[in-house]
Amino acid sequence: MKKILLTDRQLPTRWYNIIADMKTRPLPPLNPATRQPATPEELNTIFAEELVKQEISTERYIEIPEEVQDIYRIYRCTPLVRARALEKALDTPAKIYFKNESVSPAGSHKPNTAIPQAFYNARQGVKYLTTETGGGQWGTAIAFAAQHFQLDLKVFMVKVSYNQKPYRKLMMNTWGAEVIPSPSTLTQAGRHILAGDPDCPGSLGMAISEAIEMAVRHPESTKYCLGSVLNHTLLHQTIIGEEAVLQMEMAGEQPDVVIGCFGGGSNFAGIAFPFLRKNLTGGAHIRVVAVEPASCPKLTRGAFRYDFGDTAGLTPLLPMYTLGHDFIPANIHAGGLRYHGAGAIVSQLLKDGLMEAVALPQLETFTAGMLFARTEGIIPAPESMHAIAAAVREAKKAKEEGISRTILFNLSGHGMVDLYAYEQYLAGNLTDEEYMPENTIERG
Give pLDDT, residue 219.
82
Confidence of residue 442 (pLDDT cuts 50, 70, 90): very low
pTM of the predicted protein model: 0.95
Cα distances from 20 to residues 16, 62, 237, 348, 355, in angstroms, run: 9, 11, 16, 13, 17
Give pLDDT, residue 439.
66
Q: Give mean pLDDT, residues 93-97.
A: 98
All residues at 6 or more sequence positions from 413 whose CB lies less than 8 Å from its CB, including other chains: 101, 102, 107, 108, 109, 110, 137, 380, 381, 383, 384
Q: Give mean pLDDT, residues 275-302.
A: 97
Give pLDDT, residue 440.
59
Q: Is the pLDDT of residue 13 over 70?
A: yes
* Residue extents of the structural domains in the chain: 15-65+110-224, 67-107+230-426
Cis status of the peptide bond prior to 198, with omega within 30 of 0? no
Report the mean per-residue pLDDT for the chain: 95
Quick one: which of 382, 171, 164 has its CA closest to 155? 171
**Best CATH choice for the domain 15-65+110-224 from the list 3.40.50.2000, 3.40.50.1100, 3.30.9.10, 3.40.470.10:** 3.40.50.1100
Domains 15-65+110-224 and 67-107+230-426 share a fold: yes
Q: Is the pLDDT of residue 443 over 80?
A: no
Summarize pLDDT for 227-236 with one digit per residue, the tens: 999 999 999 9
Quick one: which of 113, 40, 121, 47 has its CA closest to 309? 47
Domain 67-107+230-426, classified CATH 3.40.50.1100, yes or no: yes
Helix runs in 305-403, H state only: 344-351, 362-376, 382-401
Q: Is the pLDDT of residue 164 over 50?
A: yes
Per DSSP, 79 falls in state: P
Summarize pLDDT for 347-366 with one digit per residue, the tens: 999 999 999 999 999 999 99
Confidence of residue 329 (pLDDT cuts 50, 70, 90): confident
Degrees, nearest 5: CA angle 176-79-332: 60
- What is the enclosing helix (H) or strand (E) of 307? strand 303-308
91: amino acid identity, one letter: D
C-alpha–C-alpha distance, residues 202 and 28, integer Å = 28
Q: Is the pLDDT of residue 333 over 90?
A: no
- What is the enclosing helix (H) or strand (E) of 52? helix 49-55
Residue 84 half-sphere exposure toward CB, CA atoms < 13 A: 3
Q: Give mean pLDDT, residues 80-101.
A: 98
